[in-house]
Amino acid sequence: MIEKIEPEIILYDSKIQDLCKNEYYKHPNGCPNLGKKEGCPPNQPMINRFLNFEKDLYIIYTQFNVGEFAERMRLKHPEWSEHPRQWYNPRIWQPQARKLHHTEQAKATKENNLTKIVSSPEAHSVNVTELMKNLGITLKWEWPPEHIVENQKYLNNIVYLVSFGGHGLDA
């Protein structure tokens, strides 16, 4: 989905970059890329110092049914039944989701003559959860999501890849 947005709905705060320091599964010190990988905090400017808010801005988001993907993994790998977290392993599903999202980014770039794509809005201090809520989409952060086979409820397990398109400050 490619949607033109007004800069006023982009909530950003330098504290968002600190989310990368939060502990998560098997990473007690937060993200191992923090301060190391290009594109990760604290090496990134806030969004308003990267994209020109005086020119058109677009949010680009791709919905990926991770529950459907996980169900395929569950059926393909019965030996993982004791470890359902494995069905939702991001290293397995993210390449497919990213491919879809990159296609959407390329489409946005071509259709709107964009010169910049921000693939990691949080790295640029954007509160993606609140932004998506403003667009009518509630992000669910429980991970892994509950995988309920009955009535195919796992189909409700959706993730979103979110990026921005626009123009640099020099444009």
Q: What is the pLDDT of residues 37-90, one digit of tens each?
A: 888 898 899 999 999 999 999 999 999 999 999 999 999 999 998 888 999 999
What is the token pair recorded at 102? 């990159």
Give pTM, 2 decimals.
0.92
- Show Cβ contacts of residue 72 under 8 Å, excluding neighbours closer than 6 positions: none
Q: How far is CA 22 from CA 7, 25, 34, 45, 56, in A?
A: 28, 10, 11, 20, 33
Q: What is the mean pLDDT of residues 29-33?
A: 92
CA 142: distance to chain centroid? 14
Tokens of 21: 């320091």
| Structural domain spans, the chain | 2-166
Work out the average pLDDT over 12-21: 93
pLDDT in tens, 95-121: 999 999 999 999 999 999 999 999 999
Q: Which residues contact 163 (CB under 8 A, 6 or more apart)?
A: 59, 60, 61, 101, 105, 117, 118, 119, 120, 121
- Whether residue 171 has pLDDT greater than 80: no
Mean pLDDT on 146-169? 96
Contact of 151 with 144, CB cutoff 8 Å: no
